[in-house]
Structure 1
């Protein structure tokens, strides 16, 4: 059985999906789209069910990729049943999508989520009357508390198992519209299209001159199973079902459409008339199942928004919240990071002692201590920082605050020529640039997306901030360190603003898209909704640390250890650094820094592990690595290194993600080149300005 989960954004689809599928999920992209594909396997009563979480959308027109993906899946994959999740506290607007779904799929179950918030807002919904009005099954849910989710699934399985499609109520359109719809139906019912799609829906879309209607598609099976039952993995779009466009046969009705146009019934006229009819129908049936009492006092959301969205208090509150997030991520987590480093050092000593007892070769002991544990151990010290940051981010997103922050950030974004939703992406990048780049999917305009994608690498991620804080603490102790860190962040923000204005001209972005975003009701996230995405992101980082970064650490150790018996400058790594020294010399960099910069391209985390190996620091706290650098470079050179490190080429994973999201090798190459040139130019300016001011 195939079940599709559909709903507006922010109605709790992810909560329901995660509760039903658990860890048995697959995440990737829909074929040919930059929209996330989430699917999972559920087993009930020895039956395997495929649950597809379709993108959140407000309608099923063909204007955004989310709308197209959701509609195409229902039309072409024909799921056995559609689970339509509705926000009970905002049911009038949510039912518009439900009516569109009912025109596509006869087997639908409505899940009324957030019933607790609806009741607190004075809203009473008679579920039985709602089911009767639309002739569908409806279930009450409070997904955040796990209430009603299993009942929702049970009803969906029951409806999906029926031998015949149930009869659903149709939206009654005005007489003039009904005549035109029936005339188009008469022309279409004789074609093969009528056997593939619901006839009434096909007539509506033909009258709207929908660009997707009239194309013939041939399904192409994927080379691998759609839903492996293994643990969650990230797949490319090649794993998803694809369609190839064939030569389309001409649809009838063109003469009829031309006649309607002469009467003033254009494409836009039909679209507006159908939408008005649906909302009029909702308004008529709403009193049958919903009543709303006047509240004696403002709701909790209204009371909070009076302060949080205030043009006076909103920004100080946002700065305070972000400051708390960064303080907890980088200051409060420091003891945990030190504990991880000391634990790794203890394990390294234990292994080294064991190897010495069995008289293992010296190179093997050095590989374990100076390669693997010095490299990976330095990186694992960042795990507490990453976990705490993503926990805060998940909490703010699920509580409803992050949407408000984007609303407030819209004013700043507009000054830079960016869309307000770019704020989501840029804030996400403080955790990791990869999800930050993927967060640009919320931007509808392709040029807005491209500009935001190209700006993302200028935001320092958690690994970069961790390395920066360690180096700053060694070279600029006390208050000077706070000033140095703030100045680096100021440089980053200044360059983001400058680059935003430049990128708009480069991509020829002349018009600014309107910022429209639904502000969800505030609610306290459940522990599961915070910990699950935090664990997923942290697990992904750990997986990289034990595979990719482990391999990189071993490579750096080999390059810095061979030929054996020679000074470090004469090893392969030293020779590589010597070849690159002409680039680093104008900025005051030694060969070690240049090698670390090169390996930092693979993953920013490897910069610290590389420095730990090249400066001869065995598995120890990251602070000692930075301290080892103090004997090799001056504070001015260290600050210049931090500027270059903060701005230069994003990590390999970010480059790959940029290519996937932009679907352009040319723009990906431009972004890499821009970051590289900008970092060294700004670094050169900082270094020589410092020399001119008498700093060393």
Structure 2
């Protein structure tokens, strides 16, 4: 059995999905789309059920990838039943999507969530009367407390096993609009699509000249010899190749032209249909909703007076983000140190056993100086990453992150960006990969592309960890805090400059409006915080045992062979010699250049590479940074920090940018831009510092 989980954003859909599927989840992308695809397997009563968490959306038009993906899944995959989540505290807007779902899927069960919040707001919903009004089963749930979720699933399974599809009432449209819909239905009734899609829905979409439906109609089989004058359509499911035939007239084209002559264009039809649906909702609303007076002020109203205040909102946001970064980078330091010590102890134990087994010295060196020195230095960042993502999930699940994006919209507008870009940039502090993927919330493709390209300028947790170690070695005490703040400010300034620059490079016809729903505040569930945290941390750990492990072994080989020669005469030393002419103007020695090159595989490998090249054990990243003090001056160290913070994003970020943008050209441009920008800024800082007498 296939069950689709649908609903508006922020209605508790993720909570229900996580409770039902637990760890049996698969996360990926929909084929040909950059929209996240979540599915999970559930076992109930000896039956296997696939639960698909469809993207949150407000409607089923064709204006965003989320809407297209959700609609296409219902149309083409035809799930056995749809579980439609509805926010009881905002039921009027939520029912608009439900009416659209009922046009496509005959088997629907409504999960009425947030009943407690509705009651607090002075709203009473009679679920049994709602079920009668729509002729659809309704189950009351409180997702945040785990109440009613199993009953919701059980009802969905029952409906999915019905022998006949329930018949839902059609939305009554005004007579003039209804006559036009029926006329289009008659024209389409003989086409092959009428056997595949609901005819009434198909007629409405044809009147609205839906662009996705239009493209499907224009696809004509290359080898098909149908008479186009009588049968201008084809079966999109036929196993034949298609080509776009712009000259082919779509079904009902003449009728649409006649309607346009009467003033009924595509926008007119779309607005008329939407208006009719909302009027129908307003008509049936009194049957099941009771507004009690006086309406109580909710906790959301009280908190938003402060959090969204133009005076207090920004200081509160700074305090919250500062706490997040403090816990991520300062409070987690003892945990990172414990991981480093544990890795050093494990390396010693393994080497002792290897010596007892009389294994060759070269193998012992590989394990101690290659694998453990490389991977061990990187695993020390795991506590930082886990804590950051835990706080990020906490802010998202509580409803605060949407408020932060709202407050950040003013700064985003100064940069020529959309307010939702704030999500991407904040995510980038944890890891640029989810930061780039977070651009999916942006509807405009140009806003998405620009935000993608500037995201790698945000220093991620691994980069911040390496930077912190270097800062502590070269700038001890209070100077270190000043240096770190200056680096972050420089990053922000360059993000703003780059956004304004790219706004001119990436052409855009018109800006999209900033529209974002502010969900009600609620206490985050442990599952909704820990599950995303584990998924993101596990993704990082997989990288540590793939990219970083391989890179550490490669660096060890390059720095160990030929054996018996000084380090600068090894293969790594020769590579550094070839790159020396690039690093000399910036005060970098060959070790720094080799580390920068290997940092492309993953930013964490910079520290492990330096540990191997400087011959420092894996027991403390601090000692690696201290070993650098003999290789460069404080000015050179600051230049290194700037270049390291800004230069080429890691391989995973580059691959993610390509997958999200689907453009090799823009991906290459982003890599080249970061590389050139980092070395220009580094050169200016190094030579500017020398000009003013800094060393």
* Length-normalised TM-score, structure 1: 0.95
CA distance in 2, matches of 1:414, 1:499: 14
Say which SS state the counterpart of residue 41 (structure 1) adopts. strand
Greater mean deviation of Cα atoms: 162-171 or 46-55 = 46-55
- Does the alignment pair 1:202 with 2:211? no
Instruction: Identify the residue that residue 280 of structure 1 maps to in structure 2.
Output: 279
Alignment RMSD (CA, Å): 1.6
For 1:98 and 1:286, the matched residues in 2 are separated by: 14
Preserved CA contact (<8 Å) 1:60 1:68: yes
Residue 32 of structure 1 aligns with which residue? 32
Question: CA, structure 1 residues 511+212, in 2 after alignment: closer, same or farther (shift >3 Å)?
Answer: closer
Query: After superposition, what is the alpha-carbon deviation per residue over 1:132-179, rounded to whole angstroms, capped at 9, x for unaligned?
Result: 100001111111211111111111111111111011121111122122
When residues 463 and 110 of structure 1 are mapped into structure 2, their CA distance, relative to the original with a 3 A threshold, is same
Q: Kindly report which structure 2 residues correspond to 1:210-359, keeping only aligned pairs within 5 A, or say none.
A: 210-214=210-214, 215=216, 245=242, 250-295=249-294, 297-359=296-358
Question: Aligned equivalents of 1:470 and 1:445: distance in 2?
Answer: 39
The question of whether the paired residues in 2 share the 8 Å contact of 1:421 and 1:515 is answered with yes
Q: Does 1:503 align with 2:497?
A: no
Q: Which runs of 5+ in 1 are unaligned?
A: 219-241
Shift of 1:437: 0.4
**Once structures 1 and 2 are overlaid, which stretch shifts more, 369-378 or 383-392?**
369-378
Contact 1:417 1:512 in 2 (8 A): no
Per-residue deviation at 1:504?
0.5
2:234 alignment partner in structure 1? none
Q: Which secondary structure state, in structure 1, belongs to the residue aligned with residue 636 of structure 2?
A: helix
Instruction: Supply the distance in 2 between the matched residues of 1:38 and 1:243 (Cα, whole angstroms).
Output: 30
Which stretch has the larger CA shift, 329-338 or 341-350?
341-350
Q: Which residue pairs with 1:608 in the alignment?
A: 607
Q: Any stretches of 5+ residues in structure 2 without a counterpart?
A: 220-238
Equivalent runs, 1:62-141 vs 2, <5 Å: 62-141=62-141
2:168 counterpart of 1:168: yes
Post-superposition offset of 1:246 = 5.8
Mapped partners of 1:246, 1:586: distance in 2: 55
Alpha-carbon displacement from aligned partner over 1:197-237 (angstroms, at most 9, x marks no partner): 1111111112112222252599xxxxxxxxxxxxxxxxxxx
Q: 1:216, 1:245 within 8 Å by CA — same for their partners in 2?
A: no
Aligned position for 1:183? 183
Residue 27 of structure 1 aligns to a residue in which SS? strand
**Structure 1 residue 667 and structure 2 residue 666: aligned?**
yes
Mapped to 1, the partners of 2:578 and 2:177 lie a distance apart of 75
SS at 2:111 equivalent? strand
Q: Which residue of 1 aligns with 2:230?
A: none
| Counterpart in the other structure of 1:13 | 13
Aligned to 2:688: 689
2:45 alignment counterpart: 45
Q: CA deviation at 1:355?
A: 2.0
Whether the 8 Å contact between 1:216 and 1:246 is mirrored in structure 2 is no
Deviation of residue 188 (structure 1)?
A: 1.8
Is the 1:216–1:247 contact (alpha carbons within 8 Å) kept by the matching residues of 2?
no
TM-score, normalising length: structure 2 = 0.95
Find the counterpart in structure 1 of residue 369 from structure 2: 370
Q: Deviations over 1:355-408 (max 9, x none)?
A: 223332211221111111111110011010000000000000010000000000
Aligned to 1:440: 439
Q: What's the offset of the Cα at 1:251?
A: 4.5
Cα distance in structure 2, aligned partners of 1:410 and 1:98: 31
Q: Relative to 1, partners in 2 of residues 1:314 and 1:613: Cα closer, same or farther, differing over 3 Å?
A: same
Aligned to 2:26, the other structure's residue is in SS state strand
CA distance in 1, matches of 2:206, 2:533: 46
Looking at structure 1, the residues matched to 333 and 291 of structure 2 have their Cα atoms a distance apart, in angstroms, of 50
Question: 2 CA distance for matches of 1:538 and 1:31?
Answer: 25
Q: Is the 8 A contact 2:648 2:674 kept in 1?
A: yes
Alignment of 1:508-519 (within 5 A): 508-509=507-508, 511-519=510-518
Deviation at residue 547 of structure 1 after TM alignment: 2.2
Change (3 A) 1:661 1:187: same
